[in-house]
């Protein structure tokens, strides 16, 4: 049974936020006073990585504390349904009042609790608006006509756009409102609580409300990181993703700067909600006994390497923000450059609550122990398996060799990053000390053979221990699979993401 001596736990979570989007950590353009406050009160982990840079797989690894080769979730596919515990379930069992607000992206049941006692639901693609708390809220306030509440997807996925709802009805503000209400309700209660406040933004489309859409002006924004040999630094999934998200038919620098302006505005609007949440904790006397974790599932290429989206092992996608404030244990204003991962979230929160997950072994470590130097590791890892645009492709994840043929793997330490793309049969090695922007692949350079072999061996050992050997030869080398290439048809596989409940018919103009 939990007691009042145990800390409250707040997790603020964003979707698709790059690690380089916090002012206090070196971004000279963006404004993030609330996140800056967390940097000042806690530890900033500057080498934090996603274990699989895509929404569902990353979240699955986070809540279970396991890499994809243990969860069996490598993409936006099914999370395990075998009864294994989540950190929320462990905290609930330990007596915590657990509540989730916003995007959880649970699969196969998007409305599942997965260990939360209660949830307030806000998801991206919803089949039935009656099942989504935010949509009901929006419709009750006269905005039933809005067919794309989180921004117009599909053809406008990467077209900056003002929100069709005012700031006070925006999905980001709704998460802030509900989090504030929960915290006020918990003030004075005997049970400690764990709140997961999860924002859909800055996931594209970048649809921010007035006047936030003019917080940053496009001509003043920096251009993306596009090295001279960018094409050689991309993999099949990067090219496929830019294709199906309508971003491989030419480059417009003005659009790129406008995209960054709206992306940054989306983050600043989230930051404002986190500021409201912190102010509520302070006003209700709960701040000094609350462990606060801020992080994201993955980043966004945002035009770097002339590519867009997630599903990349480049830092723009795979490296994530991670801030931990732990009153009474961690001194504020610290920066920790040890490699950490979303798999560390579950053991960290369970350690804070004085409990543990009992159903399975965890791959993660307690972040506080890493910051204190009492827990050490040399590298963290990742795997993502692309779903090719063919019928029945999602089932390929159930077959080890087929999954391996579609996988990209990563091992990353403080100083080096190793990536292997099975779809291209190519290795990449980046020197994180002299080339932090990842502009040159050193995998073919004999002078860098030692770090390449060391990280490759560490990754292979991790995969073998987990039985994830479909892509390995008996000697530990990579098995070669047929290389994948894009269709020559530039319109092949373009994305359509219309909400099934939205009525877009126009009498006399659309087909019945």
pTM of the model: 0.96
CA torsion sign for 300, 26, 410, 344 is negative
Question: Which CATH superfamily groups domain 8-378?
Answer: Alkaline Phosphatase, subunit A (3.40.720.10)
Determine the Cα–Cα distance for residues 138 and 168; give it in Å rounded to an integer: 10
Question: In this structure, are residues 32 and 264 in contact, taking their beta carbons and an 8 Å threshold?
Answer: no
- Please tell me whether the peptide bond between 202 and the residue prior to it is cis, using omega within 30 degrees of 0: yes
Determine the Cα–Cα distance for residues 80 and 91; give it in Å rounded to an integer: 19
Determine the Cα–Cα distance for residues 365 and 453; give it in Å rounded to an integer: 25
Question: Where is 272: in which H helix or E strand?
Answer: helix 253-283
Determine the Cα–Cα distance for residues 55 and 53; give it in Å rounded to an integer: 7
Distances in whole angstroms, Cα of residue 367 to Cα of each of 159, 291, 322, 347, 394? 37, 12, 10, 8, 34
Determine the Cα–Cα distance for residues 144 and 135; give it in Å rounded to an integer: 8
Cα angle 270, 275, 334 (rounded to 5 degrees) comes to 100
Question: In this structure, are residues 191 and 95 in contact, taking their beta carbons and an 8 Å threshold?
Answer: yes
Round to the nearest angstrom and report the end-to-end CA distance of the chain: 59
Determine the Cα–Cα distance for residues 248 and 268; give it in Å rounded to an integer: 28
CA torsion sign for 164, 166, 167, 170 is negative
Of 266, 251, 265, residue with least CA distance to 202: 266
Of 38, 233, 152, 159, residue with least CA distance to 497: 152
Of 152, 154, 205, 126, residue with least CA distance to 496: 154
pLDDT in tens, the chain (512 residues): 566 689 999 999 999 999 999 999 999 999 999 999 999 999 999 999 999 999 999 999 999 999 999 999 999 999 999 999 999 999 999 999 999 999 999 999 999 999 999 999 999 989 899 999 999 999 999 999 999 999 999 899 999 999 999 999 999 999 999 999 999 999 989 999 999 999 999 999 999 999 999 999 999 999 999 999 999 999 999 999 999 999 999 989 999 999 999 999 999 999 999 999 999 999 999 999 999 999 999 999 999 999 999 999 999 999 999 999 999 999 999 999 999 999 999 999 999 999 999 999 999 999 999 999 999 999 999 999 998 776 566 766 678 999 999 999 999 999 999 999 999 999 999 999 999 999 999 999 999 999 999 999 999 999 999 999 999 999 999 999 999 889 999 998 898 888 888 888 899 998 76
Cα angle 256, 221, 239 (rounded to 5 degrees) comes to 30
Determine the Cα–Cα distance for residues 318 and 310; give it in Å rounded to an integer: 8
> Looking at residue 398, what is its pLDDT?
73
Determine the Cα–Cα distance for residues 402 and 471; give it in Å rounded to an integer: 9
Region for residue 402 given its phi and psi (left: phi exceeds 0; alpha: psi -120 to 50; beta: otherwise): alpha
> Looking at residue 499, what is its pLDDT?
87
- Regarding beta strands 48-49 and 340-341, do their DSSP bridges make them parallel or antiparallel, or are they unpaired? parallel
Tell me which residue has tokens 């998801």.
123
| Per-residue H/E/C for 310-371 | CCCCCHHHHECCEEEECCCCCCCCEEECCCEEHHHHHHHHHHHHCCCCCCCCCCCCCHHHHH
Determine the Cα–Cα distance for residues 184 and 181; give it in Å rounded to an integer: 5
- Please tell me whether the peptide bond between 211 and the residue prior to it is cis, using omega within 30 degrees of 0: yes
Tell me which residue has tokens 């800390």.
7
Question: In this structure, are residues 25 and 39 in contact, taking their beta carbons and an 8 Å threshold?
Answer: yes
Tell me which residue has tokens 């290429």.
301
Locate 495 and state its tokens: 């994305």
HSE (side-chain half, CA atoms, 13 Å) at 93: 15
State phi, psi for 14 to the nearest 5 degrees: -115, 170
> Would you kindly state where each structural domain of the chain is located, as residue ranges?
8-378
Question: Where is 41: in which H helix or E strand?
Answer: helix 33-41
Locate 100 and state its tokens: 């989730």
- Please tell me whether the peptide bond between 276 and the residue prior to it is cis, using omega within 30 degrees of 0: no
Determine the Cα–Cα distance for residues 364 and 61; give it in Å rounded to an integer: 10
Look up residue 39 and give its DSSP letter: H
Strand partners, 426: 421
Question: In this structure, are residues 384 and 53 in contact, taking their beta carbons and an 8 Å threshold?
Answer: yes
Strand partners, 336: 45
Question: In this structure, are residues 79 and 106 in contact, taking their beta carbons and an 8 Å threshold?
Answer: yes
């Amino acid at each position: 049974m939990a007691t009042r001596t145990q800390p409250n736990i707040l997790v603020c979570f964003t979707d698709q936020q790059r690690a380089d989007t916090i002012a206090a950590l070196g971004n000279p353009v963006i404004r993030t006073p609330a996140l800056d406050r967390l940097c000042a009160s806690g530890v900033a982990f500057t080498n934090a990585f996603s274990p699989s840079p895509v929404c569902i797989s990353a979240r699955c690894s986070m809540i279970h504390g396991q890499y994809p080769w243990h969860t069996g979730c490598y993409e936006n596919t099914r999370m395990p349904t075998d009864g294994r515990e989540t950190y929320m379930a462990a905290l609930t069992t330990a007596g915590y009042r657990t509540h989730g607000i916003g995007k959880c992206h649970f699969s196969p049941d998007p409305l599942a609790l997965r260990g939360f006692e209660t949830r307030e639901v806000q998801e991206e693609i919803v089949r039935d608006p009656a099942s989504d708390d935010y949509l009901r809220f929006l419709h009750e306030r006269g905005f039933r006509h809005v067919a794309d509440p989180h921004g117009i997807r599909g053809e406008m996925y990467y077209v900056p756009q003002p929100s069709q709802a005012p700031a006070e009805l925006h999905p980001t503000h709704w998460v802030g409102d509900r989090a504030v209400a929960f915290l006020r309700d918990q003030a004075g209660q005997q049970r400690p609580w764990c709140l997961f406040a999860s924002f859909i933004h800055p996931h594209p489309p970048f649809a921010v409300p007035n006047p936030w859409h003019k917080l940053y002006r496009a001509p003043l924004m920096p251009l993306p990181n596009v090295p001279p040999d960018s094409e050689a630094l991309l993999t099949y999934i990067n090219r496929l993703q830019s294709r199906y998200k309508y971003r491989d038919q030419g480059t417009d620098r003005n659009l790129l700067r406008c995209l960054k302006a709206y992306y940054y505005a989306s983050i600043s609007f989230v930051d404002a909600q986190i500021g409201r949440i912190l102010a509520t904790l302070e006003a209700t006397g709960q701040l000094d006994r609350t462990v606060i974790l801020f992080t994201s599932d993955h980043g966004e290429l945002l035009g770097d390497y002339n590519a867009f989206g997630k599903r990349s092992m480049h830092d723009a996608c795979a490296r994530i923000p991670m801030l931990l404030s732990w009153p009474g244990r961690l001194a504020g204003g610290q920066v920790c450059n040890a490699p950490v991962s979303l798999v560390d979230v579950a053991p960290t929160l369970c350690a804070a609550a004085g409990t543990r997950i009992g159903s399975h072994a965890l791959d993660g470590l307690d972040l506080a122990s890493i910051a204190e130097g009492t827990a050490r590791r040399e590298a963290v890892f990742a795997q993502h398996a692309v779903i090719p645009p063919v019928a029945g492709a999602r089932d390929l994840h159930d077959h080890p060799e087929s999954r391996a043929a579609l996988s990209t793997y990563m091992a990353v330490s403080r100083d080096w990053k190793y990536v292997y793309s099975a779809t291209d049969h190519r290795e990449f090695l980046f020197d994180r000390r002299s080339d932090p922007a990842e502009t040159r692949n050193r995998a073919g350079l004999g002078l860098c053979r030692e770090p390449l072999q060391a990280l490759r061996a560490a990754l292979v050992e991790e995969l073998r221990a987990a039985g994830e050997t479909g892509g390995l030869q008996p000697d530990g080398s990579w098995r070669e699979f047929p290389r994948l290439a894009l269709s020559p048809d530039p319109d092949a596989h373009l994305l359509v993401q219309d909400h099934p409940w939205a009525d877009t018919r126009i009498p006399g103009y659309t087909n019945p």
